[in-house]
Structures are given as C-alpha cells and as structure tokens.
C-alpha cells in the first residue's frame, strides 16, 4: 500500500509559528519517554510490548513511535479518564492484572510466555480475550471483554496515534496552537499542512 505522506514530517514545523513553547514542551516530553523507565517489571513489559506490536504496527516509512513507553507511563501514573465500568479497577491495577492475565492465558493455552508466541497464536489468543473466551483463572476477577474494550483498545490506540511519527504517516498537521487551521473546506489545506501524493 502506498504511503501518501512518505516525505512529510510534522516535526519540520517544530520551530515555526505553528507551535508555541508549550506545544514543543509537551511533544518533546512525550517523545523522550523510554521503555526502560516504565516501572512495571520486565515480564509485564515484555507482554505489553508484544501486545502493542499485534495491535498497533509501526509506520513503514517514518521513525518508530515509542507507544509501549507512552502506555507504560500512563499505567504508572494511574490517571484514567474519570469513568470506568464497575467491573474494572483503577487504570494501573487494571493494566497490571490484565497483563498478568494475558501471560496466564498464554501459559494455559500454549505453555509459554505471550511474548514468545508467533503472530498466529498471539492473535488467536487476543481474539479469545476480545470475545471473552478465556481459559486462565485470572480472568474471573477481571472480565476479559471489559478489559479489552475499555483498556486495551482505547489506551493502545490513543497512545499510538498521539506520537508525531503517526501524525506524519497520516498527514496530520499536529497541534493547532497557536497558529490554528484556516482552510477547513473540503479539498483545501493550509500551506503548512501535508500534501498527499498517490504514488507514495
């Protein structure tokens, strides 16, 4: 599939009037996060790394996003959105228990770590969690479908697509502060926005 924004890099706008100091500070901090500073333990980090890789692949022609580090940071900070189903604990506890449950599910089904499963087995296991069809007893106190729908998908997708490499891959111009966007009509773009190319 052609990358219509292969030559676009939203970070080229970093030192232009499109971004102010606060925007630069927020994006720089986001990009500086590292997996080594995650603070969730090596086993859980390996599970999280494999989980993210199956759900949110890296862009092909842009720098890789530090999605695992972003999500691990969110888990450690334990800052949710202010609402959750009654079946799930707070964000940090939910994720730690969920990662342990994914690992237990891999052991129950295949007798090996989730991080070591091939793509086919890893994806089949994740489809089972999505459907609520699990074998490990860890899921008794943590409903698999709720964990999938309320934590796994929203958190991974939001962290992944909050990274500038993914903005570049989809041609997104990034934060609108302070310059903003003016040409909002269909098939119109501001001069500092990405130009789409059909041949990648």
Domain boundaries, the chain: 10-170
Q: What mean pLDDT, rounded, does the chain reach?
A: 90
CA 167 to the chain's CA centroid: 13
Rounded Cα distance between 181 and 176, Å, is: 6
Report whether pLDDT(186) > 80.
no
Report whether pLDDT(2) > 60.
no
pLDDT per residue as tens digits for the range 69-126: 999 999 999 988 888 999 999 999 999 999 999 999 999 999 999 999 999 999 999 9
pLDDT per residue as tens digits for the range 151-172: 999 999 999 999 999 999 988 8
With pLDDT > 70 as the criterion, what percentage of the chain qualifies?
A: 91
Report the first-to-last Cα separation within the chain, whole angstroms: 8
For residue 74, give the nearest of 59, 88, 94 by alpha carbon: 94
Rounded Cα distance between 152 and 132, Å, is: 13
Provide DSSP, 79-93. Answer: ---S---TTS--HHH
pLDDT for res 1: 40
What is the pTM assigned to this prediction?
Answer: 0.89
What number is the average pLDDT over the span 11-16?
A: 89
Rounded Cα distance between 157 and 132, Å, is: 20
Report whether pLDDT(25) > 60.
yes
């Amino acid at each position: 599939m052609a990358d219509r924004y292969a030559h676009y890099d939203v970070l080229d706008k970093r030192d232009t009037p499109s971004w102010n100091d606060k925007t630069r500070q927020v994006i720089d901090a986001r990009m500086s996060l590292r997996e080594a500073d995650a603070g969730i333990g090596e086993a859980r980090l390996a599970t999280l790394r494999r989980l993210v890789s199956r759900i949110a692949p890296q862009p092909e022609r842009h720098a890789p996003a530090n999605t695992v580090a972003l999500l691990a940071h969110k888990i450690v900070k334990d800052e949710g959105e202010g609402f959750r189903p009654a079946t799930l604990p707070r964000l940090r506890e939910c994720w730690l228990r969920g990662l342990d449950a994914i690992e237990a599910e891999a052991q129950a089904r295949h007798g090996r770590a989730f991080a070591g499963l091939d793509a086919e087995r890893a994806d089949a296991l994740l489809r089972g969690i999505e459907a609520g069809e699990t074998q490990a007893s860890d899921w008794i106190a943590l409903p698999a479908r709720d964990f999938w729908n309320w934590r796994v998908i929203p958190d991974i997708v939001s962290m992944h697509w909050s990274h500038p490499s993914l903005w570049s891959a989809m041609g997104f111009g990034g934060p609108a502060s302070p310059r903003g966007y003016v040409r909002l009509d269909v098939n119109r773009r501001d001069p500092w926005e990405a130009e789409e190319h059909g041949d990648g």
